[in-house]
Amino acid sequence: MSSRPTDPGDVTRWLQALDDGQPVAGAEGSTVDRLFAALYSELKRGAAAQMRKESSGHTLSATALAHEAWFRLTEQTRTQWESRGHFLGMASIMMRRILVNHAVAKQAAKRDVQLVSLTLTEAQQVGHGVPADVVSVHDALLAFEQVDARAAKVVELKFFGGLETDEIAELMGLSSATVKRDWALARAWLHRELAA
């Protein structure tokens, strides 16, 4: 990856060229290659933030999650990329979908596994300290979306995308104070739902 910072205007121009299917002239490679070099560290940071919330022993790594999101995003043909923030916001949504699909597939595979007898002590240890899984958070977020769609989007970008308050404010066209209020409201609502 390039060690020099990339001008946000270049990233926006490359994203728009990607929309148009037009190659961007330059010695540094294709548009997709330059975008990957410019955005990879941020994608990986978002993926790593997501994977920290997953249980240990997860079969996806942050690198795999970032790459899968990248491949799915670059295959989008109907999305008009507006900016780096728009792309990273969509990456957070894509990562959420990947994690939810992965968790659902894993749960489906568990239903096909032969049952094993456990002692009471072993059974108590199975559920000890398990954080809310991505499917539970996803379901709660879908319910919250019906209550407050904007705040649900803030949660998605912050929780699944790893974006900072200022980045979310810029992406959504809100003030930082509004994003902070939405985040506080959403956290309280989701905490209540997930604790029930």
How far apart (Å, rounded) are the C-alpha atoms in residues 141 and 163? 17
For residue 60, pLDDT over 80 is answered with yes
Compute the average pLDDT of residues 133-138: 76
Residue 109: what pLDDT? 62
How far apart (Å, rounded) are the C-alpha atoms in residues 61 and 171? 27
How far apart (Å, rounded) are the C-alpha atoms in residues 79 and 133? 29
Q: Give percent helix, percent strand, percent coil of the chain, each to the nearest 5.
A: 70, 0, 30
Sequence letter at residue 116: V
Residues 6 or more apart from 64 whose CB is under 8 A from it?
Answer: none
For 166-177, what is each residue's pLDDT tens digit?
A: 988 988 899 999
Closest CA to 191 of 155, 146, 167: 155
For 138-193, what is each residue's pLDDT tens digit?
A: 888 889 999 999 999 898 888 777 778 998 898 889 999 999 999 999 989 888 88
160 secondary structure, DSSP code: I
Do residues 38 and 91 touch, judged by C-beta distance below 8 A? Answer: no
Residue 191: what pLDDT? 86
Residue 24: what pLDDT? 46
